Amino acid sequence: MSAPATAPSCPEPSARTGAAVLFDVLNDLGVEVIFGHTGGAVIPLHVELNKRMRRGEPVPRFVLCRQEGGAGHAAEGYARASGRIGVALATSGPGATNLTTPIADAYKDSVPTVFITGQVPSFAIGTDAFQEVDTVGLTRPISKHNYLIKDVADLEWSLREAFHLAGSGRPGPVVVDICKDVQLAVVDQGNRPRARHRPAIAFDHRRADAILDALAAAERPVIKAGGGIIHAGASAALCRLAERFDVPVTTTFNALGAVPDTFPYNLGMPGMHGSIPANYALREADLILTLGGRFDDRVAVKDFAKGKRIAHVDIDPSEIDKTVKTDLAVVAKLDDFLAYALGSGREARHPDWIARVEDWRTQMPLPYEDGEYIKPQAVIEALSELTGGEATLVTGVGQHQMWAAQYYRFRRPRQWISSGGLGTMGFGLPAAVGAWYGNPDHPLLLVDGDGSFQMNIQELGTVVANRIPVKMFVLNNSFLGMVRQWEDMMDDGHHYETCLARQHDCDPGCIELDQSCRRQLPNLTGLRLVYPRLKTLRVRAPAELGAALREALAHDGPVLVDVWVDKAENVLPMVPPGQRLEAMIES
């Protein structure tokens, strides 16, 4: 939705403190959950929250995370799973700086979020006061917009505008930094919203017609759908467009689930670790139509556009021609473009091209060989089958993330929750917390690696305290596996700071990826002593896998399963960095 020329209007308030204003606005906007941590600069907000709870007044649920970064990722997980705006709250200083990673993560992946931080009193700004940092300066390059509130009369309109900006246009994170004295101050009449000049970009029918004509006339067209399809709620319209024009569809990392795995035109994910049919189709296409996605370096590899026509539809004009020169482009909301396309009466058939693509589809996903050790791909395939492809699937970052993207059979939008553009290790566990509150109607799976899982392992406390029934599967290979895979490729298999086993176990045997190398997290099942309401399992052999997965999925509370996978397994296919799609390694 395009932002209006002026910010949303504020209702006439009675005398209220800044803290009361904040919760009145959150209630009015329908905010259901806040993820956060407390601290000195936000105590007035927590006091107001608890007063309202004691009086039995409606307030958002506050989920106390164990660290502010975890709270920020939980807000992301909530937004990604629900389509609503995720909210995180933290104190000043280290509370705000701990939020910078989730803010940057939300910015890279266009996640609608509002991050509320406390700040030292307005009269103390610039004095190096205790826990003072320039939150606005820190977050300016990694947020869609940010505010420093030094006058309580500016608080209400700023909050309302912040939520509007976070969810409209191209979504993204907005930061609201509120001085402590503002939270305590009383306001009788708030200031009016600032006038904003945001002229809407008119839908250009001529440009849209040119793209549709090119799509119909092309001999080998491909649609590259990005995460904007999910943000726009346009998945069903995209499928109808593919059927109408007889065009195969690739879905980028952030768009997984936008097209069901069973949809006959779906080719899967393109790019560095994309599927064979998706990458082959992009390589051989004569027209690539990108809908709501960036041409990032993991997909738009060397000579990506050579010999092809490139068409691009996006709500953000800054993405047009940003990295890949387009031949045809239109700035528009995707639901508007797709509605226009479907209402235009145009259609096309590409039987020879579809037949060629069907041959490649037999190679999706890449087969793997069973062996003495558990294959990570087998874990994902089993989880997909046991959940019917309906679970909300959250991951950390690393090899396990790519296997999850490749081997889970996605059926719906908003079921894939993973850090894309920033590639944030430690994202998975706290994001799963938020995803549960965002969509508790589907089973919730976390697939993580032993390296990524440990980065925010403290959020197990949040899981257990709130009895979140997430099923956690740690694919434990005792390595920072993706970096280890790159070391194999770039340094002849010499491994340095990537072995997560105890240091004296990282001997030449470990460098040779000897399976007898001691595993990381050797006392993982002992976590039940710390968290008695957490069920823990360990699986070491392929014959044990099926029963362990079924036991975990059947449990009615949180479960942590330590799965010892083949540490020598690599993510394939792979397009080496800086290479063309033709250089893809398949085995």
Position 496 pLDDT exceeds 80: no
Work out the average pLDDT over 412-433: 98
In sequence order, the β-bridge partners of residue 288 are 222, 310
Tokens of residue 576, six digits? 């080496």
Q: What is the pLDDT, as a whole number, of residue 587?
A: 67
Tokens of residue 128, six digits? 């190096």
Q: Which of 9-18, 26-35, 460-469 has the lowest mean pLDDT?
A: 9-18
Query: Rounded to an integer, what distance in angstroms lies between the CA atom of residue 31 and that of residue 82?
Result: 12
Q: What is the pLDDT, as a whole number, of residue 585?
A: 80
Q: What is the pLDDT, as a whole number, of residue 11?
A: 46
Tokens of residue 318, six digits? 């800054």
> DSSP letters of 544-582?
HHHHHHHHHHH-SS-EEEEEEB-TT----SB--TT--GG
Q: What SS3 class is residue 145?
A: strand
What are the start-end ranges of the E strands in 162-216?
Answer: 173-179, 186-187
Q: What is the pLDDT, as a whole number, of residue 324?
A: 93
Q: Which of 6-10, 90-94, 232-236, 565-569 has the lowest mean pLDDT?
A: 6-10
Contact in structure between 79 and 417 (CB atoms under 8 Å): no
Query: Rounded to an integer, what distance in angstroms lies between the CA atom of residue 300 and that of residue 581?
Result: 9
Q: What is the pLDDT, as a whole number, of residue 467?
A: 96
Higher pLDDT, 360 or 495: 360
* Closest C-alpha among 86, 70, 175, 71 to residue 133: 175
Work out the average pLDDT over 395-423: 97
Q: What is the pLDDT, as a whole number, of residue 6?
A: 45
CA torsion 12-16-20-25 (nearest 10°) is: 10
Contact in structure between 71 and 35 (CB atoms under 8 Å): yes
Query: Rounded to an integer, what distance in angstroms lies between the CA atom of residue 410 and that of residue 268?
Result: 10
Query: Rounded to an integer, what distance in angstroms lies between the CA atom of residue 23 and that of residue 348?
Result: 53
In sequence order, the β-bridge partners of residue 444 are 392
Q: What is the pLDDT, as a whole number, of residue 2?
A: 38
Q: What is the pLDDT, as a whole number, of residue 305?
A: 84
Work out the average pLDDT over 191-201: 84
Work out the average pLDDT over 91-118: 98
Band (pLDDT 50/70/90 cuts) for residue 513 is: very low
Own/partner contacts of 43-51, CB < 8 Å, gap of 24 or more, are 44/17, 44/18, 44/19, 44/180, 44/183, 44/184, 45/19, 45/89, 45/118, 45/183, 47/19, 48/17, 48/19, 48/20, 48/22, 48/23, 49/23
Band (pLDDT 50/70/90 cuts) for residue 510 is: very low
Q: Where are the domains of the chain?
A: 16-187, 205-361, 376-564
Q: Which of 298-302, 410-414, 491-495 has the lowest mean pLDDT?
A: 491-495
Second CATH level (architecture) for the domain 376-564: 3-Layer(aba) Sandwich (3.40)
Position 463 pLDDT exceeds 70: yes
Q: In what order do the strands lie in the sheet with 309-314?
A: 249-251, 221-225, 287-291, 309-314, 328-331
Band (pLDDT 50/70/90 cuts) for residue 141 is: very high
Q: What is the pLDDT, as a whole number, of residue 579?
A: 80
Query: Rounded to an integer, what distance in angstroms lies between the CA atom of residue 285 and that of residue 309?
Result: 9
Q: What is the pLDDT, as a whole number, of residue 577?
A: 76
Higher pLDDT, 463 or 489: 463
Percent share of the chain, pLDDT over 90: 78
Tokens of residue 365, six digits? 């996903």
Q: What is the mean pLDDT of the chain?
A: 91
Q: Which of 99-113, 279-293, 303-317, 566-580 has the lowest mean pLDDT?
A: 566-580
Give the pLDDT confidence of 295-343 residue by residue, as tens digits: 988 788 878 888 999 999 999 999 999 999 999 999 999 999 999 999 9
Tokens of residue 433, six digits? 């917390």
Question: Taking the chain, what is the end-to-end CA distance rounded to the nearest angstrom?
Answer: 45
Q: What SS3 class is residue 411?
A: coil
Find where tokens 């599927």 sit: 275
Q: Which of 6-20, 142-156, 205-219 has the lowest mean pLDDT?
A: 6-20
Contact in structure between 110 and 314 (CB atoms under 8 Å): no
Q: Do 205-361 and 16-187 have the same topology in CATH?
A: yes
Class at the top of the CATH hierarchy for domain 16-187: alpha beta
* Closest C-alpha among 360, 376, 387 to residue 444: 387
Band (pLDDT 50/70/90 cuts) for residue 497 is: confident
For 205-361, CATH gives 3.40.50.1220
Show which residues are catalytic.
68, 130-131, 180, 482
Query: Rounded to an integer, what distance in angstroms lies between the CA atom of residue 479 and that of residue 495?
Result: 10
Q: What SS3 class is residue 81?
A: helix
Query: Rounded to an integer, what distance in angstroms lies between the CA atom of residue 3 and that of residue 165?
Result: 7
Q: What is the pLDDT, as a whole number, of residue 495?
A: 76
What number of residues does the chain have? Answer: 587
Position 503 pLDDT exceeds 80: no
Contact in structure between 172 and 140 (CB atoms under 8 Å): no
Cβ-proximal residues to 111 (8 Å cutoff; 6+ apart), any chain: 76, 79, 80, 86, 105, 171, 172, 173
Q: What is the pLDDT, as a whole number, of residue 14?
A: 66
